[in-house]
Structure 1
Amino acid sequence: MPSWLPSIPYPPARDDGYWAPITSTLDWCEENYYATPYSAEIVNTLTNLLFVYLACKGMYNCYSQGHDRIFFLTFVGYLIVGSGSFAFHTTLKYPMQLVDELSMIYTTCLMFWATFEHKRAAPIPLLLGIFVTLLALFITGYYHYLQDPTFHQNAYAILTALVLTRSMYIMEVNIRPYFRRRREGHAKVQENGRTGEKERAEERRKDERDVIVIRQMWYMIGVGLSVFLGGFGIWNLDNMYCSNLRQWRHEIGLPWGILLEGHGWWHLMTGLGAYFYIVWGIWLRHCLNGRQDEYEMVWPSLFTSLPRVMRRPRAMNGANGHAKKMN
């Protein structure tokens, strides 16, 4: 440890903390109760506060900007994920482990329903809702029976991959001008040869707008996936080299050893990645509804701000004017 970096030795791990004994089927690389007897894994606990902050930010954005209710509920699920993980890492109790892990499944199921039911004729949304509910109940029961974290991790990965792949497909097919025109059979452009110059100019404007939207969406997807998969990679390294990491943490001391808590980085990075995905889902829904001129994705800086989907100022003014007329 460089002499110019002040540090203090790691206190010894304990097995007699406030929440002892451990009943969870998982115990992560962070040593237990070394910092306080009231939290089994202090870093893994506190890093979940990012979920709480981003969930509150997302719920407020949904409420204030008029986004679809399903995304408000998704952010509620996101909040439960963070709160459940907070409780799990604090206590290392099996019931709290279930809250942590199953809330991830339930929140992904909400996004699954939102992705696959959009613009489907009745009774498909209802049937899809029944299917998703039964799927969530099956995963819950079978996981509780097996008590094998690998099953939960695989179920979560498959659900997430299905939702992500479907979302990217409908984004390209419905928004990119090339695919949209092929799907619509050029009806809006040609209109039996009677389209005027004004209509053609408007179509060109929409095409240019949607090309920009697609480019921005892919950028958001790339950043979100990179952060999420980076967190996944660090989490795996944390599992593979736990004994080495514990040794290095003790060698460099506190507070610098905190930087080697891989599971804490997993929380921070997957929390950000999941937030990016939900925000992208909100923006995609508005674009699929043809509301690109009403909403925009606001993201001033990659490193100093978070993306939000906001009403465009003229859309807000129009809404206010309409309200005045109604009054």
Structure 2
Amino acid sequence: MRLSIPYPAPKVGYWEPVTATLNWCEEDYYATKYSAEIVNTITNFMFMYLAYRGISNCLRNQHPTVFLVSFFGYLVVGCGSFAFHSTLKYPMQLVDELSMIYTTCIMFYASFARGRSFIFSFLLSISLASLALFITGYYHYLQDPVFHQNAYGILTAIVVFRSVYVMESGLRPQWKAKERELRLLSGFSNGHADTAHEDANGLKKNLSKEEIEELKRCDDRDIKILKTMWTMIAFGLSSFLGGFALWNIDNIFCNQLRQWRRDIGLPWGILLEGHGWWHLMTGIGAYFYLVWGIWLRHCLNNNQDQVELLWPRSWTSFPSVVRRKNTANVSQKKNL
């Protein structure tokens, strides 16, 4: 008994002719005349679903507005990619690819503007808007996908490395020691600068037993948070890079993969659609980054005890940051 059906002959497409500068390895209009690349189209539902989760979570838990805007950008990426692969029209290609640049610029702003002056933030926003407009115009002029891919890759790498640096410097107890000493020396711990003094071993603070215990609790808490954050980074980055690798295999070995798909037949042949896997895996990787960014922002704002990460840590679950219940007592603790 045959457990597959042969690939049908290509149909005359509803959206023809193709005007995009890119056409992927999936054969055009073999499933329906209304979608040029059916697998590359429907895999964008992952973006739409995760965008819905992210937007709902931001609204429900009142996360910083910049992340709500980022999730809307993430949704536009998914919708743009859906339209592009359905039609293979150049305007839809621009919506797909340029929305990736714009959303990354929003995250760039979120990473670099936190804690900075209004003037710095304003100038940064103007610079990023100008950069996005330059990339848009120059890409439209060149119509070279490599330019877009390089621009997106560079922006993404800068944002990720910056976020990792901020995470480590802002949460790692050893990195915070000098700042904490200065704050305690200034009397921030109990409101009096004369409660701290310098001895032969350096700065020594007159802390109560309760303050010392709270300090240790915060350090232990932040170390646990960092371990979980690094797990999230590894998970998201592995998904993103894995999708990128499958996409490149799809490009390099396209002729062989097309032959294998036809040999295997439907529906199993769709498992060899590398660009579809790119959508699924990069969608997951980007979602993990956004959730990590939300959690990191709350932690940098010293709200670790007011929020928590919900993540069963399985391949079938997605994390989310929610506000804890009954945190009134915790919020009254001293911020050391």
Coarse TM-score class (shorter-chain normalised): over 0.9
Q: CA deviation at 1:122?
A: 2.2
> Offset at 1:312?
1.2
- The equivalent of 1:18 in structure 2 is 14
Distance 1:317 1:7 in 2: 61
Residue 70 of structure 2 aligns with which residue? 74
Normalising by structure 1, report the TM-score. Answer: 0.93
Letter in 1 for 2:165: Y
* 1:297 matches 2:297: no
Distance 1:182 1:265 in 2: 46
Q: How far apart in 2 are the matches of 1:166 and 1:80?
A: 24
Q: Which amino acid aligns with 1:208?
A: D
Cα drift, residue 41 of structure 1 = 0.2
Percent identity, please.
59
RMSD of the TM alignment (CA)?
1.6
2:40 aligns with 44
Classify the secondary structure of the residue corresponding to 1:123: helix
Secondary structure at the aligned position of 1:296 is classed as: strand
The residue number in structure 2 matching 1:308 is 320
Does 2:88 align with 1:88? Answer: no
User: 1:186: how far off?
Assistant: 5.6
Aligned ranges 1:148-297 → 2 under 5 Å: 148-185=144-181, 187-188=183-184, 191-192=196-197, 193-297=205-309
Instruction: Give unmatched runs, 5+ long, in structure 1.
Output: 320-327
> Structure 1 segments of 4 or more deviating over 6 A?
316-319
Pair 1:110-2:106 in alignment: yes
Find the counterpart in structure 1 of residue 334 from structure 2: none
User: What is the distance in 1 between the residues matched to 2:71 and 2:296?
Assistant: 16
Show structure 2 runs of 5+ residues with no match: 190-194, 198-204, 332-336
Q: Distance in 1 between matches of 2:234 and 2:328?
A: 30
Residues 145-190 of structure 1: CA deviation (Å, up to 9, x unaligned): 0000000000000000000000000100011111011344364489
1:127 counterpart letter in structure 2: L
1:98 & 1:169 partners in 2: Cα distance? 32
Within 1, Cα distance between the matches of 2:261 and 2:137? 39
8 Å contact from structure 2 (residues 14, 34) kept in 1: yes
**Residue matched to 1:31:** 27
Q: 2:6 is matched by which residue type in structure 1?
A: P
| Structure 1 residue 302: Cα displacement | 1.7
Higher relative helix content: 1
Aligned length: 315
